[in-house]
Structure 1
Amino acid sequence: MDRLVLGKRLRHFRTEAGLTLEQLGNQVGVVASQLSLIENGKREPKLTFIQAIARALDIDPGELLNTEAPDRRSELEIELERAQSTPGYEQLNLPRIKSPRSLNDDTLESLIGLHRELARRTRAAATTSEEARRANTSIRMKMQELDNYLPDIEQIATELMQRIGHTVGAVTHRDVAILAEILGFTLIFVDDLPQNTRSITDLENGRIYLPPTSIPGGHGLRSLALQAMAHRVLGHSEPRSYAQFLEQRLQINYFAAACLLPEERAVEYLQQAKRDRNLAIEDLRDAFGVTHEAAAHRFTNLATRHLDLRVHHYRTDGAGTLVRGYENDGLPFPMDEGGAIEGELLCAKWGGRTAFNRQNRTSEFYQFTDTPNGTFWTSVQTGDAELGPFAIACGVRFDDARWFRGRDTHVRKRSTCPDESCCRSAAPALRERWEGKAWPSARMHQHVLSPLPTGTFPGVDDTSMYEFLSKHAPEV
């Protein structure tokens, strides 16, 4: 139970009954000081004692256990108490302000407003690129421990897909629309979504606004709709930190993938392909009608748990910069001192970079790579998006390549990174010929000087979102 709310509700009903602490204490057999501790949220009473108090006040015990503050004044007092209990406030070594009745509501509102602004600025200061990298690294390490498998979300997705009667074939747009209806939503396609939003959910009117066509970069409309629904299905609240925002993004992406590639059918399909020694990400992609990246990522969710395979998966841009990655097979990703891999340059000998050297990039590319951590087999698919070319890689250790199509490739590279002589240092003859005789004009990456998006929903302008909702909301 919430001790602060319980205390405020007790004081509210005691005052309404016209009883002092002493009078109520006499009726329930305790001293006034014990009741005072409960009213101030410093002690949690037993359920039997709450029932005794309710009888004395002639109310239902549920009235005391209600999770809402009894009135606006109590709501303000609770928020002030919580604000002064945060580690950030305690580090300031400032005195705690009590909220007696002599403290008027305007003063209380002002104090709370200052605390809210202090909290906002603290969050904004913490939301640096370094903090984001730390949060992302923490999530990646957590998923590595879990073998990239979240059973609770798998169960929720399975039950929902059974509920709409989906059994075979790719999940259709109609299937997604039916699921939305069951969850109390209507899907509406518009061409004026605010910038930096992939969808907007009107919680008041039960509407999910989506773009009329797929957003560049592989985000299909079915996936976008499922991700939007996932916030309600998974019980998300507004993120209070960038780390929580990233965690929620991971969960909604996982939920969408678990719906589009249901666990039971996907596992059955993959197990048969393994028995045939013909595992292929492109086949999984085509069988369930999803993007190549979605299929590769979903494969990592299921491979260790159901196929006894440890795997790696990553995405790079055309320059070989890591955008995201996962491994539990020991692939030695490049990383900074904090363990972050995003933004790090991939070894030029790895498949995620050598795949760009082909003239024909439409087919799957396969490669064995010798590394300081052993030899790995990787399947790579390249493509082009709005921000330029990219590569999607997925693979396993050498011994497990026998289960995959493409294991007979003759392409094999040797990587000794992070040894500088591997691919980061020019050949001696080239260095001698050109060192000190060239001056390039470097292309500035857009993200270098951009602040990390802040706000409740990072990168989203609240004003644009609210104006959009007002424009499209049904007339009352």
Structure 2
Amino acid sequence: MPADVYTASVLGARIRHYRSLAKLTLDDLAALLETSPSRISLIENGRREPKPSELPSFARALRVTVEDLVRAEAPNSRAALELELKRAQASPLFAGLGLPKLRGGKGMPDDTLETLVGLHRELERRAQTASATPEEARIRNTQQRAWMRERNNSLPEIEAVAEERLRQVGHVAGALTHREVHLMVEQLGLEIVYADDLPRSTRSITDLENGRIYLPPESIPGGHGLRSIALQAVAHRILGHTPPDSYADFLRQRLEINYFAAACLIPRTQAVDFLSARKKDRDLAVEDFRDAFGVTHEAAALRMTNLMTEHLGMRVHFLRVGSVGEVYKAYENDDLPLPLDVTGAVEGQIVCRRWGARRATEIEHRTTEFWQYTDTPAGTFWSTIQTGKSAEGVFSITFGVPFDDAKYFRGRDTENRQVSRCPDETCCRRPDPALAARWAGRAWPSARLHAQILASLPAGRFPGVDDSEIYAYLERHAP
């Protein structure tokens, strides 16, 4: 219900309330005001509003003040429920149900009215809950990836915000220090508190009322963990976020806070200067970029996707792939043929066995990045791959470019070369005919599910987080 309509409804409710207290009928009030009963009825129902010049006459007839009539709140709890029902039934959410509207007039019992309003409140709450099934999560991720691809994975408006924040804390060059992150937090009127009992579903919690950011104690030592988590936490405030009203909104906010943190840890101007110099020397390497700014290999590779196309004119691709080839993250604007499902989603899909993303995890005792050329139906691509290990197992980080741009990278002289015909099943998905004949009908494997890809996110205001657990935590730690 628009604000002006709601205001008219409240005014009408207050006029009806005071008319009833004065024991006046519609005809009585109409006679005192020299107007028609039907007009008074329209005013009381919020369908017509009296002129401001008429309000003193209404006040005198009802023996109240003008201030009594124009107050913003309903005159009593019953009227408040009637107005809330009217507002709810005027919403697009209710209109989409195709149900008839109910009038909450005098003939409706109080308990019936309370039940109806309660149902509408729950309907609105559920509509505003940012949760997602696996299918919706993949669809929204696909839409966001396409949106970022159109922008070459670059968000210049957030780059500008990050640069201004860095200027305010006096950062000039080199890796962003823990002290500079603390200064940025303090400039927002917040403080960092380390707590060893954060709920398992959270990386951090910001207590807006008491100005605290709770971080896990294991973030205190060096590395970029503490800096990244703290920057992501303050980014919500810096970027003016409000609680997400949809899963797509939640994903957008998560993208923006991650981008802001990366833009602070690896500032655009310094990073572009570094990459440009290395390109000129034909010595680009993710590991050097990583070490120059003190971040993880994955963070460095992702940051290069933000900058390489926009500032160095090079199209790129990035993947994080699990131990059996499942995709966790992916980006490309160089036409690398990513594996996709029928919805266009890449998360959870299996990459070709010929790709370096999988071959690198099979090599033991490797001390440097793994490089490979891969011939595909879309052309030849050069990639540099680094591996790591997490709680979920071994994974690989791939960053690469089309063949023509490989000349700018260290490792361009690698002799590793593979041919991938995927999605042609004869490439690597179809078993050897002799083995298939030998084992068909004689084996029954049990699949290992990737819960982080397939599980739906718990419902809540913030996906993946238990609201009751978070609020209990904040109450327990409030000063």
- With normalisation by structure 2, the TM-score equals 0.83
The residue that corresponds to 2:3 in the other structure is: 5
2:258 pairs with one of 247, 253, 257:
253
8 A Cα contact 1:4 1:39, kept in partner: no
The residue that corresponds to 1:61 in the other structure is: none
Q: Measured at CA, do residues 373 and 81 of structure 1 come closer, stay the same or move farther in structure 2, by a change above 3 Å?
A: farther
1:244 pairs with one of 246, 249, 255:
249
Q: Distance in 2 between matches of 1:333 and 1:202?
A: 41
The residue that corresponds to 2:408 in the other structure is: 403
Q: Measured at CA, do residues 165 and 80 of structure 1 come closer, stay the same or move farther in structure 2, by a change above 3 Å?
A: farther
Q: CA deviation at 1:252?
A: 0.8
Give % identity.
53
Structure 1 runs not aligned, ≥5 long: 27-31, 44-51, 58-67
Kindly provide the amino acid, as one letter, of the partner of residue 392 in structure 1: I
The residue that corresponds to 2:165 in the other structure is: 160
1:413 pairs with one of 415, 418, 423:
418
Q: How does 1:283-302 map to 2 (within 5 A)?
A: 283-302=288-307
SS of the counterpart of 1:213?
helix
- With normalisation by structure 1, the TM-score equals 0.83
1:267 pairs with one of 262, 272, 290:
272
The residue that corresponds to 1:60 in the other structure is: none
Q: CA deviation at 1:430?
A: 2.3
8 A Cα contact 2:207 2:213, kept in partner: yes
Q: CA deviation at 1:358?
A: 1.2
Structure with the greater relative contact order (CA < 8 A, sep ≥ 6): 1 or 2? 2
8 A Cα contact 1:5 1:69, kept in partner: no
Q: Are 1:138 and 2:143 an aligned pair?
A: yes
Kindly provide the amino acid, as one letter, of the partner of residue 6 in structure 1: D
Q: CA deviation at 1:364?
A: 0.8
Q: Distance in 2 between matches of 1:125 and 1:251?
A: 17
Kindly provide the amino acid, as one letter, of the partner of residue 430 in structure 1: L
Q: Measured at CA, do residues 88 and 70 of structure 1 come closer, stay the same or move farther in structure 2, by a change above 3 Å?
A: closer
Q: Are 1:455 and 2:460 an aligned pair?
A: yes
Q: Deviations over 1:131-169 (max 9, x none)?
A: 111111111111111111112211111111111111111
Q: Measured at CA, do residues 124 and 472 of structure 1 come closer, stay the same or move farther in structure 2, by a change above 3 Å?
A: closer
8 A Cα contact 1:6 1:39, kept in partner: no
Kindly provide the amino acid, as one letter, of the partner of residue 225 in structure 1: A
Q: CA deviation at 1:243?
A: 1.8
1:178 pairs with one of 161, 164, 183:
183
Range 412-421 or range 121-130, more displaced = 121-130
Q: Distance in 2 between matches of 1:293 and 1:160?
A: 24
Q: CA deviation at 1:242?
A: 1.7
The residue that corresponds to 2:155 in the other structure is: 150
The residue that corresponds to 1:426 in the other structure is: 431
Q: Deviations over 1:304-348 (max 9, x none)?
A: 111111111110111110011111110110001110000000110
The residue that corresponds to 1:334 in the other structure is: 339
Q: Distance in 1 between matches of 2:108 and 2:72?
A: 18
Q: Measured at CA, do residues 9 and 116 of structure 1 come closer, stay the same or move farther in structure 2, by a change above 3 Å?
A: closer
The residue that corresponds to 1:189 in the other structure is: 194
SS of the counterpart of 2:412?
coil
8 A Cα contact 1:77 1:99, kept in partner: yes
SS of the counterpart of 1:96?
coil
**Bigger Rg, structure 1 or 2:** 2
Q: Are 1:351 and 2:349 an aligned pair?
A: no
Kindly provide the amino acid, as one letter, of the partner of residue 369 in structure 1: T
Q: Distance in 2 between matches of 1:253 and 1:198?
A: 13
Range 70-79 or range 315-324, more displaced = 70-79
8 A Cα contact 1:7 1:38, kept in partner: no
Kindly provide the amino acid, as one letter, of the partner of residue 2 in structure 2: L
Q: Distance in 1 between matches of 2:380 and 2:84?
A: 57
Q: Are 1:220 and 2:218 an aligned pair?
A: no
Range 465-474 or range 367-376, more displaced = 465-474
Q: Deviations over 1:249-294 (max 9, x none)?
A: 1111111111111111111111111111111111111111111111
SS of the counterpart of 2:217?
coil
Q: Distance in 2 between matches of 1:78 and 1:379?
A: 63
Aligned positions, number? 447
1:369 pairs with one of 363, 374, 384:
374
Q: Deviations over 1:214-272 (max 9, x none)?
A: 499x9711111111111111111111222221111111111111111111111111111
Q: Measured at CA, do residues 85 and 435 of structure 1 come closer, stay the same or move farther in structure 2, by a change above 3 Å?
A: same
Q: Measured at CA, do residues 102 and 169 of structure 1 come closer, stay the same or move farther in structure 2, by a change above 3 Å?
A: farther
The CA RMSD measured in Å over matched residues stands at 3.6
Q: Measured at CA, do residues 171 and 449 of structure 1 come closer, stay the same or move farther in structure 2, by a change above 3 Å?
A: closer
8 A Cα contact 1:164 1:178, kept in partner: yes
Q: Measured at CA, do residues 6 and 102 of structure 1 come closer, stay the same or move farther in structure 2, by a change above 3 Å?
A: farther
The residue that corresponds to 2:59 in the other structure is: none
Q: Distance in 2 between matches of 1:470 and 1:412?
A: 58
